[in-house]
Chains A and B, each alone.
Chain A
Amino acid sequence: MDGVVHVEGLVKAFGSTRALDGLDLAVRPGEIHGFLGPNGSGKSTTIRILLGLLRADAGTVRLFGADPWRDAVALHRRLAYVPGEVTLWPRLTGGEVIDLLGRLRGGLDPVLRDRLLADFQLDPGRRTRSYSKGNRQKVALVAALASGAELLVLDEPTSGLDPLMEIVFQDAVREAAARGATVLLSSHILGEVEALCTRLTIIREGRTVQSGSLAELRRLTRSAVAVQTEAPAAAIAALPGVHGVHEDAGRLRFTVDDGAMESVVRALARHGLGSLTSTPPSLEELFVHHYRDGTDDAGARAQAAGAGKDDAGVGTEAVDAATDDAGRAP
């Protein structure tokens, strides 16, 4: 209960659509928390409830231990928000919007403001209607990051930024975290989440499907292994926790459950181990794992039920196939 964000069993319905269906989310003080989920899974709805813009239908929502709907104004003095789709007042300049938003939040650090403007290479004298999407996002980012807020709520804040600006963004977020700020970062840019986030929550269809540190989540998925042995080692396919064994250009490839690695390596040593590379699952693989569940529910259930027996492990090939599927899905 002493987290910055504490959400339990959150439900929000729009008409007959249940946008959130028992969602849980816990963000601890000082952490950068990644908030992931496919499009339409309820990330923005959750954030809007945290901001007191939408009223929850059921469940517990606490922000700094307070009710975000009732205590919105007091809570908003402590947080800054960057929406995913930033639209600004077309007649105002970027600089004017930054000052307006800063003032409404309770002031901003003018030195930090100027430095962030320089870092993000944003011209504050241009009217916002002439800004590109990335520049509009920079306006909202500068206003939020220069506020010195205790909590930064960032809803896909970098979808319009180029790779150089992405680096500037990551540095600025790390700086805020070093200052003691807590960050809730909803993002589709997995490299960014992997680089920044200490813990993360993955949601799907309004429910939390995974939550924990990246290491904890990795433990739930298999590592991809490629080995070269002196003697044929196909027999290791019989070991518990080994999946999808196949040969590829003289190397044996398979995936291994977390925790089974030790017995596998010991068995391989008996066959005269030449070389071994083991790749822990990337966040992308973790994420696609849950995405694919979303796009193919039946397959997901079969995989969950038959885990350990199916021969398509969570190797690179499987990920590619899943990405292709996602690409083809409407």
Chain B
Amino acid sequence: MSTVAATSGRHRSAGPAGDGPLAGAGLLLRAMARRERFRVPAWALLLAGLTAYIAVAVPAVYSEPGALEARGWIMREPAAALLAGPGFGLEHYTVPVMLANEMLGLTIVAVAVMSLQLVVRHTRAEEEAGRTELLRAAPVGRAAPAASGVVLLTGANALIGATMAAALAGLGFGLADSIAYGAALAAGGMVFGAVAAVTAQLTESARTAAGTAGAVLLAAYVLRGLGDAQQAGGGPLSWASPIGWLQQSRVYVELRWWPLLLTLGLAVVLLAAAHALSVRRDLGAGLLPARRGRTRATAFGRTLPGLALRGERWRILWWLVAVSVLAVLCGALAEAVVEEFRVQPDLLRLLGEEGGQDLVRQTMALFLKFFAMAVAVYAGTAAHALRADEDAGRTELLLAGAVRRPSVQAAPFVLSVLASGVLLLAASAGLGAGAASVLGPGAATEMAAAALAYWPLAACWTAAALLLHALSRSGLWLWVPLGTAMLAGLYGPLMDLPPAVLDAEPFGAMDVDGFGTAGTAVLGAGVVAVVLAAAALAAFRRRDVPAELGGTS
């Protein structure tokens, strides 16, 4: 008897729930948390740091009396409300009120993206890779992976919310409101993490699961935007979106907690739904049937460019939709922004533009620069598919054919460069369409030419991404120069960087000022892109495929 008791005691210590459905959950949670030990704190610090930075920087920029109120006036514009928030407390527009109105929604989106990726990474991606099968074959309860996932999601969001609340309270903003601000982020993360938990049950592929959850997030943001644009303080459509609910908590204006509870309630309902779905399906299967496809490849589908396009087309389409919509919105803001710059001439100078004759053109040029940075981010991901293919062994399958090494790289390179050009044109077209009333119809061509001045620069980032892949270095290295260039381009004037640095910053160096482009810099970017691409091709031709086979890594 004593042996039995000892054995069962040992079992109990292995997992809190013994042999029940939660067996092994503690161990799983530890393993999951270990994988996230850098990522989640990095998100928490980044978001809190960025918010704190803006809270500190804004009073410096809006130093003149009445300047913030002027910004509050712009926020009444439907186009501004569409992007920012419902606009509570606009009549006394202080820094915390501005954060709640303009930053909260976008920060919730960031936390939601983190949460949905986290959930998919630990559920469907694990299942797709076959690792869940290994786990479930071990003495691990049926509900243990899901339960550990929920605890992990809660912990990650609690950390992010607490960090943000601490940062805001530390800046001297009201304690209860600061806690509510952090709690709103956490609640937003929970809801969209729960959405991902549901989509992960519905589809067999991790990418589709994350993509579907991302589409729900985008829809939620657009819905609340439309509602907020319809009427100040939010319309019916604002109440159709959890992000709208969270903004309705009126943080820093007249705080109310119940919208937060409503959001958390939705998260619980969604998690319960995900659980109900999970017990109704087999391991590895989705509930939505996988569609059948063609039995023969098209002529284009038999080529490397066709293959590259096949893998990228949805991503390109998403970028195109996002850039176009945002560009139209920014363009529609033109009139209000120009008004703000007229009231606040220093602001334009701080954003890196010389104050001067044509405010509209300068404003458009500034927007264009922001979009060029976004396109650079797209271009910087050009090697993702190549890496995934090589890790999975598909590159070997391609190279075992009568295929030159450079062709394998050339297809994604050309595709990324072409897509960057299309995105830049979409940005200029969207800005032009949005600002048609201010600019007049003739400006569209000029805008397109100005946008294309950034094209060679975008190609540089594509080529740099491919070079890193060819040298089998982590793609994260690209973000050092790209992140530095973007920070210098966005905040350089604000940080009082010396002019030499600002001139060297590539986005500023393209100098699309009032649509007149500096030809030499653009040409120079083209040359750099060609040199980087040639280096990438040469390096890839010389190295082993797969690169890390049996290596020390």
Contacts and interface: CB of A to CB of B under 8 A. Distances in A.
Contact of A93 (B293, B304, B551): B293
Contacts of A130: 204, 290
B538 to A, nearest CB: 15
B295 A100 contact: no
B302 A103 contact: yes
Given A53-B396, A83-B397, A91-B310, 15 more contacts: A15-B550, A17-B550, A45-B550, A52-B399, A54-B545, A73-B404, A74-B402, A87-B394, A92-B301, A93-B293, A99-B297, A105-B402, A124-B295, A126-B290, A153-B400
Given A77-B402, A104-B403, A127 B394 contact: no
A51 interface: yes
Nearest to A42: B550
A91 B315 CA distance: 13
A54 B297 contact: no
A261 to B, nearest CB: 45
A103 B303 CA distance: 7
A99 to B, nearest CB: 4
Contacts of A52: 399
Interface of A: 14-17, 19, 45, 48, 51-55, 72-74, 76-77, 79-81, 83, 85-93, 95-106, 124-127, 129-130, 140, 153
A95 B292 CA distance: 11
B400 A51 contact: yes
Nearest to A14: B550
Contacts of B280: none
B393 A83 contact: yes
A321 B296 CA distance: 51
A96 B293 contact: yes
Nearest to B301: A96
B292 A126 contact: yes
Interface of B: 128, 204-205, 207, 290-297, 301-304, 306-307, 310-311, 392-394, 396-405, 544-546, 549-552
Contacts of B399: 51-53, 72, 76
A76 B400 contact: yes
A125 B294 contact: yes
A73 B550 CA distance: 25
A83 B545 CA distance: 14
A76 B551 CA distance: 26
B412 to A, nearest CB: 13
A87 B307 CA distance: 15
A93 B402 contact: no
Given A87-B392, A92-B293, A104-B402, A14 B311 contact: no
Chain B contact surface mostly: loop
Interface centre among A48, A96, A125 (most CB of B within 10 A): A96
Nearest to A153: B400
Nearest to B408: A104
Nearest to A79: B400
Nearest to B310: A91
Given A93-B294, A124-B295, A100 B301 contact: yes
B294 A96 contact: yes
A166 B207 CA distance: 34
The 6 closest A-B pairs by CB, nearest first: A104-B401, A99-B297, A14-B550, A103-B302, A81-B400, A93-B293
Contacts of B297: 92, 95-100, 103
B396 A99 contact: no
B315 to A, nearest CB: 12
14 contacts: A51-B399, A53-B396, A53-B399, A76-B400, A76-B401, A76-B402, A86-B393, A93-B295, A95-B295, A98-B297, A100-B297, A106-B401, A125-B294, A153-B400
Contacts of B550: 14-15, 17, 19, 45
A14 B301 contact: no
Given A15-B551, A104-B401, A130-B204, A51 B396 contact: yes
Given A53-B545, A73-B403, A104-B402, A96 B296 contact: yes
A96 B303 CA distance: 11
A15 B293 contact: no
B293 A125 contact: yes
A109 to B, nearest CB: 14
